[in-house]
Amino acid sequence: MISSRTPLPAAHLLLAVAIMAVWGTNFVVIKFGLEHLPPLTLALLRFTLAFFPLALFLPRPKVGWGNLAAYGMLIGAGQFGVLFTAMRADITPGLASLVVQTQVFFTIFLSMRLTGERVALYQIVALLIAGCGLATIALHTDGTATPLGLVLVLIAAFSWSSGNMVSRKAGPQNMLAYVVWSSIFAVPPLLIFALLLEGPTRMMDGIRAADAATWGAVVWQSVGNTMFGYAAWGWLLNRHPAATVAPMALMVPVFGLGASAILLGEPLQPWKLTAFALVMAGLSVGMLWPRIKQRLKI
């Protein structure tokens, strides 16, 4: 196993940044989709399109059905079904993009418990600095999140981190095929909960009311966020320790709040810029310290 002290190669670092850009801006896209579609219906459509028709062209990955089912249910129903429900009325896109990043800490904790990975001191320092940025944003919520919304997003974060562990257990795979074939297992629980909690009438009314922007959001959820984002993320997790890869997700709030400011007109007050600076400082320590230490021969 590669040491958690080894930094990401430049190409892998750029890929990670691209994933974070997609995931960060996706919170605004989700809000567009929720304008007409109920949250569980949106998640149901997302994972249905993530599976079909691409599954007709991609062979099933060489991993057990149980692993595929666990990943699909954790990411599909556990993460996004819950996250979409929270974002319907209980938390704003920018704040959701922040709170869900607690998955970084869940992922590292689970990795340490399950695989014995050790977190380097500089990574702890990096997480503490970035955590100060997250705390700064959390202290200025201005009533934009309800207690229910915060709890739901924390559940979504834990589901995401658990999915990270499941995908790592699957070992090296064609991650696009892995994400596509696992998506079918998100469909049954999402359909059941949508029927129970939203009802057929509300589901169909939302589909009939959906406009081009809504369907564009659904397609982006399936293609950009799921197929590209999660396939590439799983690929990185299969090649690097979680303690090296997971902190990259702290960039999501930067892209999330930036996209919200540009597309939804959310103001960027000085405290938000301070939070951005702290998050980026933490990321810089986490990514650059090993190279600096090597060059200085500390």
Q: Which residue has the higher pLDDT, 251 or 291?
A: 251
Q: What is the pLDDT of residue 1?
A: 41
User: By the 8 A CB rule, do 41 and 133 touch?
Assistant: no
CA distances from 129 to 157, 182, 289 (A): 20, 35, 14
46 domain residue, yes or no: yes
Q: What is the pLDDT of residue 267?
A: 72
294 domain residue, yes or no: no
Pick from 27-31, 120-124, 290-294 the range whose average pLDDT is largest. Answer: 27-31
296 domain residue, yes or no: no
Asked if omega into 53 is within 30° of 0 (cis), the reply is yes
Mean of pLDDT values over 198-222: 94
Query: What share of the chain in percent tops pLDDT 70?
Result: 93
User: By the 8 A CB rule, do 133 and 279 touch?
Assistant: yes
195 domain residue, yes or no: yes
Q: How far apart are CA 101 and CA 171, in angstroms?
A: 24
In 10 A of CB 93, how many CB atoms? Answer: 26
Q: What is the pLDDT of residue 6?
A: 65
Q: What is the mean pLDDT of the chain?
A: 85
Give the pLDDT confidence of 135-161 residue by residue, as tens digits.
877 777 666 777 788 889 989 999 999
Return the closest-CA partner of residue 249 out of 139, 123, 101: 101
| Total tally of structural domains belonging to the chain | 1
CA distances from 114 to 71, 102, 105, 273, 290 (A): 16, 18, 14, 37, 25
Domain span at residue 92 reads: 10-122+147-264
275 domain residue, yes or no: no
130 domain residue, yes or no: no
Least confident range of 141-145, 219-223, 243-247: 141-145
Looking up tokens 């790592």, which residue turns up? Answer: 168
Q: Provide the angle, in degrees to the nearest 10, between the axes of the packed helices 147-169 and 103-115.
A: 40
Q: What is the pLDDT of residue 298?
A: 59
Give the pLDDT confidence of 59-73 residue by residue, as tens digits.
999 999 999 999 999
102 domain residue, yes or no: yes
* The length of the chain, given as a count of residues: 298
107 domain residue, yes or no: yes
Mean of pLDDT values over 91-97: 83
Which tokens go with 33? 């989709």
Give the pLDDT confidence of 170-190 residue by residue, as tens digits.
877 788 889 899 999 999 999
Q: What is the pLDDT of residue 28?
A: 93
- How far does the chain reach from its first CA to its final CA, in angstroms? 24
Q: How far apart are CA 242 and CA 202, in angstroms?
A: 40
Q: What is the pLDDT of residue 76?
A: 92
* Helix, strand or coil, per DSSP, at residue 149: helix
Q: What is the pLDDT of residue 79?
A: 95
> Looking at the predicted structure, is the pLDDT value of residue 4 above 60?
no
User: By the 8 A CB rule, do 122 and 290 touch?
Assistant: yes
User: By the 8 A CB rule, do 183 and 76 touch?
Assistant: yes
